[in-house]
Copies of this chain bind each other. A is one copy, B any other.
Amino acid sequence: MQSSIMSSLRAEAIDAPASQIIEIIKYADGKDDITPLWAGQGVLPTPDFICDAATRSLAAGETFYTYQRGISELREAIARYHERLYGRPFDPERFFVVGSGMQAIQMAVRMVAGPGDEIVLPTPAWPNLSAAVGIASAKAVEVPMQFRPEGWHLDLDALFGACTERTKAIFINSPSNPTGWVADEAELRAILAFAREKGIWIIADEIYTRFYYGEGRDTAPSFYEIMDEDDRILFVNSFSKNWAMTGWRVGWISAPPAMGDIIENLIQYSTSGVAVFMQRAAIAALEDGEAFVAKQIEQARVGRSKLLEAFEGNNQLRFAAPKGSFYFFFGLADEPDAWPLTKQLVDEAKVGLAPGFAFGQSGCAFMRLCFATTSEQMDRAVMRLNRWLSARDAMPERVLDLEQA
């Protein structure tokens, strides 16, 4: 009977891959005292001023059906937030509240691509993007980035060369999860010019834009700084990272306002909107959250510094200092496949990392460590990794081989 169930389901549903980040978390289930840096979240719960806004809204009885695009107060608050970041006016009508950055991605993908279509993306990349493309019966075309010790590199000729008549969108995640790569303004301009010329959409994931470690500016370079209002760019974003709201599942899409009716309908027929009390919390995050965001950014800076201080010049490791986001993406110089290492690190070093192959073939030799966490947790992770690396260095290679046999 089970086989008849499976044979009567859609291939896209059956073929949806398991998240390999989840897989390592399951592997570690029940194991004690792991320092868990595999997920893209810190140890702080959502701050009280955000939770309180939700609580007040609940107490006020805001528990009824609401606007599919989001309540106007939140859409205006999102517009003001962008105005503060980019120093120019934004139309609240371009913002649509959805049930997570993931839903934003899923909707963006489905609006532009279907069976036979392709979406081109530089990798390593967050795996949920290509999975969402697959579920939409389209094909994710990976353009492997080059690892260089001075920073991951995107070959624009390779990116453009991967675009065919079937290409409906280029997905650009800058700052990048997991590599920490950040597109500079010239790269963004080149990509936008190419997309305009070819009539291709850009799906822009700038979720980590506040986590930028370059000089001379506070946020990473953004398509918002070089685009026209009606350029074919769909921005996907989330409250998860900046405001420690990973568990809330609230995000937004930013799109040409002319798409309003279409996006409203797609929200209607997917989840029918986001709870008003969640939206009140999101408003509090945007309007009163700058001090908290600053603290989050500072914490990530500290975490990054600790890692660089600990491992710069260590010949056992391969990594590039991240220019943005809050991940340290590293491998062992002598180990092209990091998946067994990820499990060893759980068992031996008691550090939980995400395996790099989850982010595409080009990530195979790497592991992702989230450094958006407390100073104490970072110190513990660095100490444990160093101890494990020293033990590994001291161990004759043939003993290692024997043990693995």
List A residues at the B interface (Cβ < 8 Å).
1-2, 4-6, 8-10, 12-14, 16-19, 22, 39, 41, 45-46, 51, 54-55, 58-59, 61-66, 68, 99-100, 102-103, 106, 110-115, 128, 131-132, 135, 137, 168, 199, 201, 230, 232, 244-249, 256, 258-259, 261-262, 264-266, 268-278
The reply to whether B39 and A63 form a contact with Cβ atoms under 8 Å apart is no
Measured CB to CB, the closest approach of chain B to A400, in angstroms, equals 34
Measured CB to CB, the closest approach of chain B to A30, in angstroms, equals 14
Tell me which of B41, B58, B64, B102 contacts A269 (CB under 8 A): B102
Measured CB to CB, the closest approach of chain B to A212, in angstroms, equals 24
The reply to whether B271 and A230 form a contact with Cβ atoms under 8 Å apart is no
The 5 closest A-B pairs by CB, nearest first: A45-B61, A46-B63, A16-B265, A51-B58, A63-B247
User: Given A51-B59, A59-B51, is A14 in contact with B199 using a C-beta cutoff of 8 Å?
Assistant: no
CB-defined contacts of A110 to chain B, threshold 8 Å:
10, 12-13, 135
Tell me which of B13, B131, B232 contacts A262 (CB under 8 A): B13
The reply to whether A131 and B269 form a contact with Cβ atoms under 8 Å apart is yes
User: Given A9-B112, A266-B135, is A45 in contact with B16 using a C-beta cutoff of 8 Å?
Assistant: no
CB-defined contacts of A244 to chain B, threshold 8 Å:
63
The reply to whether A100 and B272 form a contact with Cβ atoms under 8 Å apart is yes
The reply to whether B106 and A270 form a contact with Cβ atoms under 8 Å apart is yes
Ordered by A's residue number, 10 sampled pairs between the chains whose C-beta atoms are within 8 Å are: A2-B230, A5-B232, A5-B259, A8-B232, A16-B265, A51-B59, A63-B246, A102-B268, A128-B268, A275-B278
Measured CB to CB, the closest approach of chain B to A34, in angstroms, equals 15
The reply to whether B271 and A249 form a contact with Cβ atoms under 8 Å apart is yes
CA distance A51 to B261 in the complex (A): 32
CB-defined contacts of A115 to chain B, threshold 8 Å:
115, 137
CB-defined contacts of A132 to chain B, threshold 8 Å:
269
CA distance A343 to B137 in the complex (A): 42
Tell me which of B55, B201, B248 contacts A63 (CB under 8 A): B248
CB-defined contacts of A261 to chain B, threshold 8 Å:
18
CA distance A65 to B4 in the complex (A): 34
Measured CB to CB, the closest approach of chain B to A114, in angstroms, equals 5
The reply to whether A65 and B51 form a contact with Cβ atoms under 8 Å apart is no
The reply to whether B10 and A112 form a contact with Cβ atoms under 8 Å apart is yes
Closest chain B residue to A13, Cβ basis = B111
CA distance A269 to B4 in the complex (A): 25
The reply to whether B111 and A9 form a contact with Cβ atoms under 8 Å apart is yes
Closest chain B residue to A40, Cβ basis = B65
Measured CB to CB, the closest approach of chain B to A255, in angstroms, equals 9
